[in-house]
Amino acid sequence: MPKIRSFTPSWLSTDSTDGRGLFSPSSASARRFNLGASTTSPHTPSASVYGSPKKQQQQNMPGPRRTIARRGTEVFVANGREIRWADLVTMKDNWEATTQDGFNRSTTTTSPSTPAYRTLKPPVASDIRQLVMSPQNNYMAILTTHTVHICVLPDPSHLRAAEDPDVPLKTRYFTLGPTTHVTTRQPVVAALWHPLGVNGSAVVTVTRDAVVRLWEISPVDRWSFDAPSLSIDVKKLADGTWLDQDFGASVTTNTSYSPDVFDMEVAAACFGPRSSGGWSSMTLYLAMLGGDVYALCPLLPKRFAPPPALIPSLSVAIVSNLAALEDDPSVTPRAKQLARQQLDWMTQIDNQEPTVIESATGSEPAAEIFTRPSNPSIVPRLQGPLEVDLDDVESDEEEEGGNGADSTIGELCDIFVIGEKVDTDFLNTDDDDAEDRLNYEDLIDSADQEGLSLPVICLVTTTGKLHICLDLVGVEAQWLPQRGHHAHKSSLSGGGLFNGRSSSAASLDMGSSSSSARPLLTFQVVDVVRNAEKRAGGWCTFSPDVTSRYSFFVTHPGGITNISLSSWVFRLEQELQESTETGADFRVRQLVTGENTLRQRVYTHNRDEVLATCSTMLDPDLGYFLLSATEHAPIAICFEAPDSDDSGFGFGSGLGTTSGLASSQNINSSSVAFQASTTGGARTAAEEAEDKAVLALDFWKARPAFETPPELLAPSELSQAKSMLFSSRYQMLQHQEVRLSPATLAIFTNAHKLVGKETSRLNDAAAQMFTKLEDLPLHLHEQVESAYTLKRRIDMIAGEDDQDQVDNKGQPLTDDVRLRQRLQQAQDRHKELAARMEKLRRTYSQASARPLSDKERVWAQEVQALEMSLNEQQNNKKALMSSTTAPPSKAASDIGLRVRQVRSLWDDLAKQADVVIQKSGGPSASSPAVDDIKASVASLVSVNSGTGTGTPSPPASVAGSTASGPVSAAADNTSGKHGLKVPADVRKTKLAQVTKLLERETALVEAVTERLERLGVTA
């Protein structure tokens, strides 16, 4: 939640001339306020005593007060019938230039030469209720109770012109619907700039009697301000059956009785955000006073400029939806017809060659302009009502508190829609080129691709009940059927909501019924207004937050409350994307009953004045800034700048929550802090510990500065009443003595009433000052306690908190020394526990055989395979005993092959030696050459025989010949007399081959032995 750094700065307070002049009422408004306050109760809205009852009723009509609009850091503030225009950064710089340390630098000059604000006087006949800025910041809609004016905003250079700020700035004004939006007709509820309008030139007006008008204005065409390009009577559309019916608004002022008048009184309207995915940006949501919500989709002007990724994503979704419906035999014909209508509508857009124009501001990329398709129709089907159960949670409070249903439930007063995230699945299709994918990815904001894949609809009532609802089905483009399709109408009543089909098919089936009513899932109900703050005619309004699209502010009679949905939105999206259903009920239950919507009361309003809907901005010079106002003074709050990597704002306390799915909590409970990263980066434990340490040292609490009640600054009306008295028929009594007469009694009676009203207002203002003075010692005591707590923490760090604790040198123990001692004790304890654990491990390993690891088992199998290959005599036996072992590895088979080669060479040499011996005289022959051959062969056979490395033994023939050496010595000696000798080159060649093979075998055996010794296995 955002942390408050300070409240209304000095450059906006009453000490600043520019700040006081920007938000102070005009002379005419002040006069009406004083006259109204002198003749009415201070708790009733101000109205002129000379106004007609109808005019007073129009002034006191409940409704939103959006009297602050902004263009960057420029603000437009409406007060009465005037609009003041200023740049906040310029005002702040001028104040800092004329002051130093809170005091004026010059005693002769208290304001800069350049005016800080300018005045605009639109041609309105009553007080301004709403200011609505266009998306391109080039137009501004000015709304009263019944009229709408369009102002062409001047260039910012006019603010720097050295002119009197009280002189009105001349600019262009256009009256929107001079014969449509008049006082003799229904009041105007909302004026909305269409998100897809070309350069902000499309505006939609909605009146109380549920008539929607779409205007496509152009300053060079005055006729565009006189007649709307599209007019829809929602009451007629609700009863519509075919496409060719007339759903236009009636031009007559006579209205007949209809039961829809009570159920279809519009309270508020809004579009989905332009940057959201799906059909949200072209869907108009209408919130009725009774609690129902209706939707019109698609509602487009003749020429519209969609975002770059909107048309491709909708095209892919429509084609895939139609393919799924065509293959499903359980889908109704009406659902298939709606899918074909969507495809026909999209085909007309795809066949167009868009017109590329540059943006009006120049800061945005060029926009592609499309023409609205005329087929199936330009008038969409009315979807709804999307029902919201307003008395689901309030019924328990009604039983406990004993209040009536009317005083508990209230009426809807505003609606706020958070569109679904942008679906980027169409970027992965094979039809798109790689360059197009990169262009789409660059144009889509990363924040718009994250969040919930469902629309979130927030509704607030006059009693301060905030309903957070989820639209599980969603709103898609729908039109009425063409005349003649009677067969489809008979198949509209069957089928459930989903029946195993997709949500889009379910929505089409639902929309095909004669009554498309469906409920919204109320995820949570939050109280933003306390019972003591509820007032008759109180109106609550939404305003978006510039830091996150899942965070917004609610302005209500009790103050301003910040609402954040980020704590559960991303977790809910993970559950929706989860493919497995195992444990889904448990996870959803934890999601509902766990950490939910966070709220924080950032400002508490204690006066009986209407608060203007707040506006937020994020600027390097102003920071994270919130601005609101009353009729006499501004209300500003400076927050800490949010972290760019986190959607949360650290820690903050606020009001409790009342969930529609869980038990209600105390309204004064503190909200739980959270950190929900939208970029996937996780905060480390050290960073969280550092944040907690910083928050523990932050003892200062921001409080709003005391503002002098306007009743103490307002001039007395006695002098004006006196001048008015003696200019009337009683002017002859001015120069006469006071006599007891009816005229004198009337004069004194009126004067007594006037003085009584003024003294009552002064007493109330003095009581507020007295209450503030009583609170000052409490605030001072709290501040002193916070400072004392901080001092104790500093003393603990410096070691001055307890002089009795000293170290070996007699110095006081500091917090650092104590922490180091505790750390050393913990480390010693850890070492002791580690030693005990090692001792227990050794005892356990000695008591029980340690099982072989996987690597040891693999090496054991290799050794067994090597032994089997080296010893052929025992190969069959060991193969039977170890039939379950793994097959010999490649290394073992290579060694066996080498051994077989050595033995085959040895057999050849033995045969050749026997042949030579037989040729030389038989086995008894003996000669020095034969002795040399046998000695060489025996030496080769007995290589490493004493090392126990398992070298192979020579063949039996050679073993026999070598064993019988002493017996046949005589024969060999007797045969030596013949002088037979083996050629030296043959002997050297054969011996070299045998030696090389034996060396390789010896090296391999030594390597295997070394590796087995490292693994702890005895060879």
Convert the pLDDT of each residue in 657-675 to its tens digit: 333 333 333 333 333 333 3
Contacting residues for 713 by C-beta, under 8 A, at least 6 apart: none
Which of 744-753's residues contact partners 24+ apart within 8 Å by CB, and which partners?
750/721, 750/725, 751/718, 751/721, 753/38, 753/39
Quick check: is 375 in a domain? no
Q: Are residues 123 and 23 in the same domain?
A: yes
pLDDT for the residue numbered 961: 42
User: Do residues 58 and 183 lie in contact, with contact meaning Cβ atoms separated by under 8 Å?
Assistant: yes
Quick check: is 170 in a domain? yes
Last residue of a domain, one of 773, 798, 823: 798
For the chain, report the end-to-end CA distance as a whole number of angstroms.
69
Q: How many H helices and E strands in the chain?
A: 27, 34
Quick check: is 595 in a domain? no
Quick check: is 688 in a domain? no
Consecutive H or E run containing 226: none
Quick check: is 328 in a domain? no
Q: Are residues 1006 and 939 in the same domain?
A: yes
Strands (E), 112-194: 117-120, 130-133, 139-143, 148-152, 173-176, 188-193
Q: Are residues 226 and 141 in the same domain?
A: yes
Give dist(CA 887, CA 866) in Å, integer. Answer: 11
Q: Is 209 left (phi over 0), alpha (psi -120 to 50) or beta?
A: alpha
- Weakly modelled stretches of the chain, pLDDT under 50: 35-51, 106-112, 393-407, 431-432, 434, 438, 485-514, 645-683, 873-874, 877-886, 924-925, 942-979, 1018-1019
Parallel, antiparallel or unpaired: strands 382-387 and 518-519: parallel
pLDDT for the residue numbered 443: 61
Strands (E), 868-1009: none
Q: Are residues 180 and 38 in the same domain?
A: yes
DSSP string, 886-904: PPP-HHHHHHHHHHHHHHH
pLDDT for the residue numbered 690: 55
Nearest to 222 by CA among 292, 152, 165: 152
Q: Are residues 887 and 775 in the same domain?
A: no
User: Do residues 293 and 388 lie in contact, with contact meaning Cβ atoms separated by under 8 Å?
Assistant: yes
Nearest to 973 by CA among 931, 1006, 922, 941: 931
Q: Are residues 33 and 181 in the same domain?
A: yes
Length reported for the chain: 1019
Distances (CA, A) of 227 to 183, 197, 482: 17, 17, 28
Which of 722-726's residues contact partners 24+ apart within 8 Å by CB, and which partners?
725/750
Angle between helices 984-1015 and 854-870 (to 10 degrees): 150
Neighbour count for residue 687 (Cβ, 10 Å): 11
User: Do residues 379 and 237 lie in contact, with contact meaning Cβ atoms separated by under 8 Å?
Assistant: yes
| Strand-by-strand arrangement of the 303-304 sheet | 303-304, 367-371, 355-357
Q: Are residues 227 and 83 in the same domain?
A: yes
Contacting residues for 1012 by C-beta, under 8 A, at least 6 apart: 859, 863, 1018, 1019
Q: Are residues 744 and 884 in the same domain?
A: no
pLDDT digits (tens, 9 = 90+) for 956-1013: 444 444 444 443 443 344 444 444 566 778 778 888 888 888 888 888 888 888 888 7
Number of structural domains, the chain?
3
User: Do residues 698 and 690 lie in contact, with contact meaning Cβ atoms separated by under 8 Å?
Assistant: no
What does the block give as tokens for 22?
């920007």
- The whole-model pTM stands at 0.70
Helices (H), 799-853: 815-847
What does the block give as tokens for 796?
């603990």
Q: Are residues 625 and 734 in the same domain?
A: no
Quick check: is 366 in a domain? no
Q: Are residues 124 and 229 in the same domain?
A: yes
What does the block give as tokens for 862?
């290799």
User: Do residues 207 and 183 lie in contact, with contact meaning Cβ atoms separated by under 8 Å?
Assistant: no
- Three-state SS for 211? strand
Q: Are residues 749 and 887 in the same domain?
A: no
Give dist(CA 649, CA 5) in Å, integer. Answer: 13
One-letter identity of residue 718: L
pLDDT for the residue numbered 999: 87
User: Do residues 959 and 1008 lie in contact, with contact meaning Cβ atoms separated by under 8 Å?
Assistant: no
Q: Are residues 863 and 728 in the same domain?
A: no
User: Do residues 631 and 33 lie in contact, with contact meaning Cβ atoms separated by under 8 Å?
Assistant: yes
One-letter identity of residue 244: D
Quick check: is 599 in a domain? no
Domain that holds residue 723: 710-798
Distances (CA, A) of 997 to 341, 570, 711, 959: 85, 69, 114, 20
Last residue of a domain, one of 798, 828, 846: 798
User: Do residues 758 and 775 lie in contact, with contact meaning Cβ atoms separated by under 8 Å?
Assistant: no
pLDDT for the residue numbered 637: 92
Handedness of CA 732, 734, 739, 741 (dihedral sign): positive
Rg (CA), the chain: 46
Neighbour count for residue 485 (Cβ, 10 Å): 12
One-letter identity of residue 965: G
pLDDT for the residue numbered 530: 87
pLDDT for the residue numbered 508: 41
Last residue of a domain, one of 798, 813, 829: 798
Quick check: is 332 in a domain? no
One-letter identity of residue 423: D
| Strand-by-strand arrangement of the 202-207 sheet | 188-193, 202-207, 211-216, 230-233
What does the block give as tokens for 95?
């104040």
Helices (H), 848-889: 854-870, 875-881
